[in-house]
């Protein structure tokens, strides 16, 4: 096995010497035709042998209290009902993320909590039975308001990704700036509870064969889900197999939902395969949310615009024993130079569903506040927002002093300004008007920390000259099947049609999974390293050094010989294995991806309606593995940013702890009519310090800053600055001057 730990830059890979020309090319997704034709089967669609039963989750009509009993007689009497399971101690009380959820249904932790499951011969019968079960609850007074309970807030958990930082005296720095003719900003920005809103619901099919459990599901990180599921059910992990070849969106939510555990419990009890899909309304309360945030930003600058201090202090919420803390200030740590730096988080415990990772945890909501405050500071100083950001560009990590692995924020700002026509922006709000519409431009920086996690892969070169790539890595819609084939194709000199990729099966080598924008870097590096094993054997059989051998179009060329790969392989396939793991490079270098977001909006002077007219994102995310798929990822993130700026808000009924807009009809996300032409540019800098293949995360980077670019453009258009997200038209209208 080619086992590499990132304690130093990798000396070089076969894919770097490759001449096949597939790496980086904007190729179509290899599984695209299967998906658009309906041939790709997602978790709930999987067909299994046997008489399949259907489950529907039973939930509690309270947010806090104790369950005193169940009336199941009517439910059990309905036609087609097989069983009502409400007495199994393994019933999960919360969504499981990276560890088993608390089990048991005697205590109610949050509204609509799962307390059991109805099993029937049809989905409709199971649904009717679940709704016929009466859950008796002794209700208690719950806590649902973050700021009303802030006096009881706690510091970050000790194992949190982000701990509090205090470098210098922030209050003294603010006072000194004011006394010396500088400028200070001290504002609070708020974001609401948000949900993942993936189109595919959480769904699982459980099948038992003796003591062996097979789960067909839609899960992002199988190497984590397998032991968590095994522990929840009470069986050894080696008796569990999970298959998740296709995922219809997850955005951090599809770790292990209660439906997976209950499908396994039900199938075990009735001796038949069981399918369970969560209803959309159930997802809002039983799959973790992104917490609401209350962010105080303090900035101090001298009269020339140099930042003297930067503070980003946040209050977030969590359920009891939730563990995870939204790392709101994560992107702020090293984005701008300032000698005095202060970052803190406080966690308020509420009686709500667990708060967890939603796409771009930290930066997605943190940059909404920071990049709005940076815009406010630039205006107060009378400086162009781009020039102000460039003036405060650090040369090294301002918190740790570590050199940046790669950093091209200034290049992204400059290229974006030129391409977007920033010079045409009116510095004073309200200057450009088209009929009832005021026009404005906004900019924001984008940042996303770069991660690398353990990942393994196997690459087999067969006697017929075809290659097989295998790992339990998943494809969450990002194009994993395609980019792994491109990496192997470039390394082995094979066209794409000669490569097969198998993913999403825990019987395969444990991959990184999809999350944190680390999938391409981690899984891609393990595949590239596995190819090194194969190339070394091929070179030996060609009697050449690997670096002196060319692989192209299924042939090896060295010296005066050109040999088909199948001939070099012979009768027995060549198998290469690769493993990548993080090392000291993670501390030696400050690693993050950066970008610049630009937006143009129109604000209606009569109604306050906002229309985003165009956007441009310029991103530096290391090596671009596939130009088309990278652009698609970036566009998706920018659309997400539009939603956070203008629409997304899980509205909480403070009386009951219930989200009142718990469906896709009322939880508003951008539709086609809301999304303007989006353009994407890349500043490609291969980051050898980050991982062997030199890539950095992109999907979450493209959310960061997008919302702030929109809201900064709103201010430039009409002079209205709203700090309570999202900027719905009522909030904008309230600040518009009389026209």
Q: Quick check: 585 and 6 in contact, CB under 8 A?
A: yes
> Could you tell me which of 489, 442, 445 has the C-alpha nearest to residue 646?
442
SS3 for 581-604, per residue?
EECCHHHHCECEEEEEEEEEEEEE
* Distance from C-alpha of 204 to C-alpha of 162, rounded to nearest angstrom: 33
> Could you tell me which of 538, 578, 579, 534 has the C-alpha nearest to residue 561?
538
The tokens for 532 are 């090194």
323 contact partners, CB below 8 Å, separation of at least 6: 97, 99, 157, 159
Give, in order, the Cα–Cα distances in Å from 445 to each of 54, 310, 370, 389, 630.
48, 16, 10, 8, 19
* Distance from C-alpha of 347 to C-alpha of 352, rounded to nearest angstrom: 13
Dihedral sign for Cα atoms in the order 708, 714, 717, 719: negative
Query: Is 363 tagged catalytic?
Result: no
Single out the catalytic residue among 456, 620, 648, 700.
Answer: 700
Task: Identify the residue whose tokens are 């004011």.
Answer: 178
> Could you tell me which of 700, 523, 692, 674 has the C-alpha nearest to residue 619?
700
605 contact partners, CB below 8 Å, separation of at least 6: 433, 436, 437, 438, 718, 736, 739
* Distance from C-alpha of 184 to C-alpha of 176, rounded to nearest angstrom: 10
> Could you tell me which of 101, 140, 143, 151 has the C-alpha nearest to residue 354?
101
> Could you tell me which of 659, 627, 605, 656 has the C-alpha nearest to residue 282?
659
* Distance from C-alpha of 368 to C-alpha of 709, rounded to nearest angstrom: 9
Q: What would the DSSP string read from start to end of 118-184?
A: EEESSHHHHHHHHHHPEEEEEE------TGGGGGG-BPPPTT-S---EEES-HHHHHHHHHHTT-EE
* Distance from C-alpha of 106 to C-alpha of 113, rounded to nearest angstrom: 11
* Distance from C-alpha of 292 to C-alpha of 355, rounded to nearest angstrom: 9
Rg (CA), the chain: 27
> Could you tell me which of 724, 698, 574, 716 has the C-alpha nearest to residue 644?
724
* Distance from C-alpha of 366 to C-alpha of 373, rounded to nearest angstrom: 11
The tokens for 165 are 């930082």
Among the residues of 310-408, which ranges form H helices?
A: 363-381, 385-391
Strands 81-85, 114-120: pairing is antiparallel
Torsion of CA 380, 383, 385, 390, to 10 degrees: -120
* Distance from C-alpha of 706 to C-alpha of 702, rounded to nearest angstrom: 7
* Distance from C-alpha of 412 to C-alpha of 596, rounded to nearest angstrom: 6
The tokens for 572 are 């027995």
The tokens for 186 are 């001290």
* Distance from C-alpha of 156 to C-alpha of 50, rounded to nearest angstrom: 49
The tokens for 183 are 């400028």
Q: Quick check: 256 and 229 in contact, CB under 8 A?
A: yes
User: What residues are annotated to the active site?
Assistant: 700
């Amino acid at each position: 096995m080619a086992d590499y730990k990132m304690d130093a830059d990798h000396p070089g890979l076969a894919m770097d010497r490759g001449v096949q020309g597939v790496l980086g090319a904007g190729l179509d997704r290899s599984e695209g035709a299967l998906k658009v034709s309906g041939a790709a089967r997602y978790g709930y669609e999987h067909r299994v042998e046997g008489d399949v039963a259907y489950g529907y989750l039973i939930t509690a009509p309270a947010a806090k209290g104790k369950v005193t009993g169940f009336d199941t007689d009517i439910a059990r009497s309905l036609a087609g009902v097989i069983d009502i399971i409400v007495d199994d101690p393994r019933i999960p009380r919360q969504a499981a993320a990276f560890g088993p959820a608390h089990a048991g249904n005697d205590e109610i932790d949050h509204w609509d909590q799962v307390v059991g499951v109805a099993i029937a011969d049809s989905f409709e019968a199971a649904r009717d039975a679940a709704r016929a079960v009466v859950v008796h609850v002794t209700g208690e007074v719950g806590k649902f308001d973050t700021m009303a309970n802030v006096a009881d807030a706690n510091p970050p958990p000790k194992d949190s990704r982000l701990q509090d930082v205090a470098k210098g005296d922030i209050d003294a720095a603010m006072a000194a700036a004011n006394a010396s003719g500088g400028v200070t900003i001290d504002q609070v920005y708020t974001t609401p509870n948000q949900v993942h809103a993936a189109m595919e619901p959480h769904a699982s099919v459980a099948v038992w064969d003796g003591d062996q459990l097979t789960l067909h599901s839609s899960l992002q990180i199988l190497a984590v889900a397998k032991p968590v599921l095994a522990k929840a059910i009470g069986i050894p992990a080696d008796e569990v197999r999970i298959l998740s070849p296709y995922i219809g969106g997850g955005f951090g939510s599809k770790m292990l939902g209660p439906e997976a555990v209950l499908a396994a419990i039900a199938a075990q009890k009735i001796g038949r395969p069981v399918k369970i899909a969560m209803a959309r309304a159930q997802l809002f309360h039983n799959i973790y949310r992104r917490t609401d945030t209350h962010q105080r930003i303090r900035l101090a600058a001298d009269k020339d615009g140099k930042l003297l201090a930067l503070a980003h202090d946040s209050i977030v919420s969590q359920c009891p024993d939730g563990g995870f803390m939204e790392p709101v200030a994560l992107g702020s740590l090293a984005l701008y130079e300032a000698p005095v730096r202060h970052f803190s988080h406080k966690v308020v415990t509420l009686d709500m569903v667990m708060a967890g990772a939603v796409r771009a945890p930290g930066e997605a909501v943190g940059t909404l506040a920071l990049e709005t405050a940076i815009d406010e500071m630039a205006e107060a100083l009378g400086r162009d927002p781009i020039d102000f950001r460039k003036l405060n560009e650090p040369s090294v990590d301002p918190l740790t002093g570590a050199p940046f692995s790669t950093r091209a924020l200034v290049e992204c700002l400059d290229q974006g300004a030129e391409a977007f026509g920033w010079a045409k922006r009116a510095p004073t709000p309200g200057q450009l008007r088209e009929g009832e519409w005021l026009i404005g431009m906004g900019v924001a920086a984008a940042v996303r920390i770069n991660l690398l996690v353990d990942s393994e892969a196997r690459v087999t070169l067969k006697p017929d000259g075809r290659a097989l790539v295998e790992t339990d890595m998943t494809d969450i819609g990002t194009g994993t099947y395609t980019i792994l084939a491109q990496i192997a194709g470039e390394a082995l000199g094979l066209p794409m049609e000669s490569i097969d990729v198998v993913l999403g099966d825990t019987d395969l080598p444990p991959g990184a999974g999809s999350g944190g924008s680390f999938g391409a870097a981690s899984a891609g590096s393990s595949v590239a390293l596995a190819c090194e094993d194969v190339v070394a054997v091929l070179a030996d059989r060609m009697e050449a050094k690997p670096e002196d051998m060319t692989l192209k179009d299924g042939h090896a060329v060295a010296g005066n010989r050109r040999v088909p790969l199948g001939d070099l392989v012979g009768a027995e396939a060549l198998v290469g294995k690769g493993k990548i793991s993080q090392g000291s490079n993670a501390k030696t270098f400050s690693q993050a991806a950066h970008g610049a977001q630009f937006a143009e909006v129109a604000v209606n002077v009569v109604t306050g309606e906002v229309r985003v007219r165009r956007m441009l994102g310029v991103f530096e995310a290391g090596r671009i593995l596939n130009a088309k798929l990278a652009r698609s990822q970036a566009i998706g993130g920018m659309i997400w940013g539009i939603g956070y700026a203008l629409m997304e808000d899980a509205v909480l009924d403070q009386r009951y702890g219930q989200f009142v807009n718990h469906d896709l009809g009322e939880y508003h996300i951008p539709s086609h009519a809301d999304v303007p032409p989006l353009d994407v540019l890349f500043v490609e800098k291969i980051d050898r310090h980050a991982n062997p293949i030199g890539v950095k995360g992109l999907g979450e980077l493209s959310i960061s800053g997008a919302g702030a670019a929109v809201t900064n453009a709103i201010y430039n258009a009409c002079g209205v600055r709203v700090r309570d997200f999202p900027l719905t038209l009522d909030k904008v209208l309230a600040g518009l001057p009389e026209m």
